[in-house]
Amino acid sequence: MVNRVSRSSENHYLPAHEIRKKLDSREISSSELTNDTISRISAIDGEINAVLKTTAETALESASAADRRLRGSGPEPGPLTGIPILVKDNMSTAGIETTAASRILSGYVPPFDAEVVSRLNEAGAVIVGKGNLDEFAMGSSNEHSAFGPVKNPWDTNRVPGGSSGGPAAAVAAGECAVALGSDTGGSIRQPAALCGVVGMKPTYGLVSRYGLIAFASSLDQIGPITRDVRDCADVLNVIASHDSKDSTSVKAPFKDFGAKLGESVDGMRLGVPKEYLVDGIEPGVRTAFEEAVEELRSQGATIEETSLPLTNQALAVYYIIAPSEASANLSRYDGMKYGASVADGLTTAAEVSQHTRGEMFGDEVKRRILIGTYALSAGYYDAYYKKAQQVRTLIRQEFIEAFGRFDALITPTSPSVAFEIGAKMDDPLQMYLADICTIPVNIAGLPAISVPCGMSEGLPVGLQVIGPQFGDRTVLQVAHAYEQVTNWHRSHPPL
């Protein structure tokens, strides 16, 4: 377990909206809060490894500007003004090294901000650092980072989940109030569940992907990791926007993500897909999920079992589509355009590319590039990639039919609690199965959230709420209603 540190603060585990009350009342300044946040990262992150880089100088400049704004100088402050935020290190930050936790991007300093980073800066948020992740966001445990694994703050012998393990662990450990992650097959929701925090993947296209280092472009989506559901809505109100720089960006048919917070679930129809209660689900996870179901039922929701038969095909579909898109996206890392290069003694561009990619990519990234290249190759494209896209359409249709009967679906977020570091590294299939409950949502482009719903073996369990396309406010409503009558989101590791 992580050792206790002598310095502590009651602000470390407060949600952002409660911190804002302290900022508004002048009980604390953003500069003081930011200094405290950076000090905490320095004190405890050596054992967690959630933060790849702190940005103390620019953060304190942002905090000072936020303090002026909070005192009435400049634009009207918003919910995130003055709040420390960690950004996953696959989002471009101008003038700050951005590596995607890969050696091949070592030394790469983007000349521009990702759209979400620009929107956070405009809102007066304070970006305190870059969060660790599985290399290029490829992983379910955050053991695949070139800069070492992230450790779960509840038990540092265990993984935090992935690929947004750094951001999730940082929020859980009180190293920041809010973090941004990216979710390609569960990479926000699964680590949020394993670390006992809240994490949401919005409807595909609601949040701009401009400046996000691409893994699988038709699946990737940026979203918030927070301590409670209200903070999730507040963050989405800032980062969700139509962006002409992103061809997949859409205009939301609504503005306020928090519009339904506080509304009852009485009379709502919630479905429990039986395929998500897989044979390998841990007993403690099943028990916590069943208790969460009964809690929602006691609030007046009508809850029925349903079936999504194609759930069992979603994992195969994902592991054809995602590696195929990764193979195409990662072809740009050739050792010549930007980032690291292995060129000494080599005379041709092909040799430079081959040696750079061979030495600088990690094993999991290489594995997925090889899978994707094979699936896209002549003679196999129709049998694999084209067929996977056809089944993807059927999965989407299955969800559409389900949402004709239900307002939302509820499932466990992960079939297990956090597993021990190294336990699945030699068995990629078992590692991939860790995302069995989250992958279908990305395949269909739907919104989903994970909220803490219990403990098993002293480790957090997550409840997943899935909504129809653009049903983001309903997802937040259900999650908030559950959260208001439980205290699991207020639990934190004994740091």
Given the residues 163, 324, 416, 450, the one annotated as active site: 163
Q: Yes or no: say if 112 and 375 are a contact pair by the CB < 8 Å rule.
A: no
Q: What is the chain's Cα-based Rg?
A: 21
How many Å separate Cα 33 from the centre of its chain? 24
Residue 64 designated active-site: no
pLDDT at residue number 336: 87
Which pLDDT score is estimated for 9? 57
C-alpha dihedral sign at 232, 237, 242, 243: negative
Task: Please report the pLDDT score of residue 326 as a whole number.
Answer: 97
pLDDT of 345? 85
- CA–CA separation, 323 vs 365, rounded Å? 9
pLDDT at 427: 84
Q: What's the whole-model pTM score?
A: 0.95
CB 324 within 8 A of CB 372: yes
Q: Does 163 qualify as catalytic in the annotation?
A: yes
- Name the catalytic one among 29, 187, 324, 327: 187
> Residues in the chain, how many?
495
201 part of the active site:
no
Task: Identify the pLDDT of residue 6.
Answer: 33
Out of 31, 88, 341, 424, which one is annotated catalytic? 88
Predicted local distance difference test score (pLDDT) of residue 280: 82
Reported as half-sphere exposure (CB side, CA atoms, 13 A), residue 60 has a value of 8
By the 8 A CB rule, do 126 and 54 touch? no
Cβ-contact 140, 437 below 8 angstroms: no
Predicted confidence at residue 246, as pLDDT, reads 97
Structural domains of the chain sorted by starting position, each given as residue range(s) with its CATH number in brackets = 1-495 (3.90.1300.10)
The pairing of strands 51-54 and 269-273 is unpaired
pLDDT of residue 3: 36
Q: What is the pLDDT along the chain (495 residues), one digit of tens a residue?
A: 443 333 345 789 999 999 999 999 999 999 999 999 999 999 999 999 999 999 999 999 999 999 999 999 989 999 999 999 999 999 999 999 999 999 999 999 999 999 999 999 999 999 999 999 999 999 999 999 999 999 999 999 999 999 999 999 999 999 999 999 999 999 999 999 999 999 999 999 999 999 999 999 999 999 999 999 999 999 999 999 999 999 999 988 888 999 999 999 999 999 999 999 977 899 999 999 999 999 999 999 999 999 999 998 999 999 999 999 999 999 999 888 888 889 888 889 999 999 999 999 999 999 999 999 999 998 889 999 999 999 999 999 999 999 999 999 999 999 999 999 999 988 877 887 888 999 999 999 999 999 999 999 999 999 999 999 999 999 999 999 999 999 999 999 988
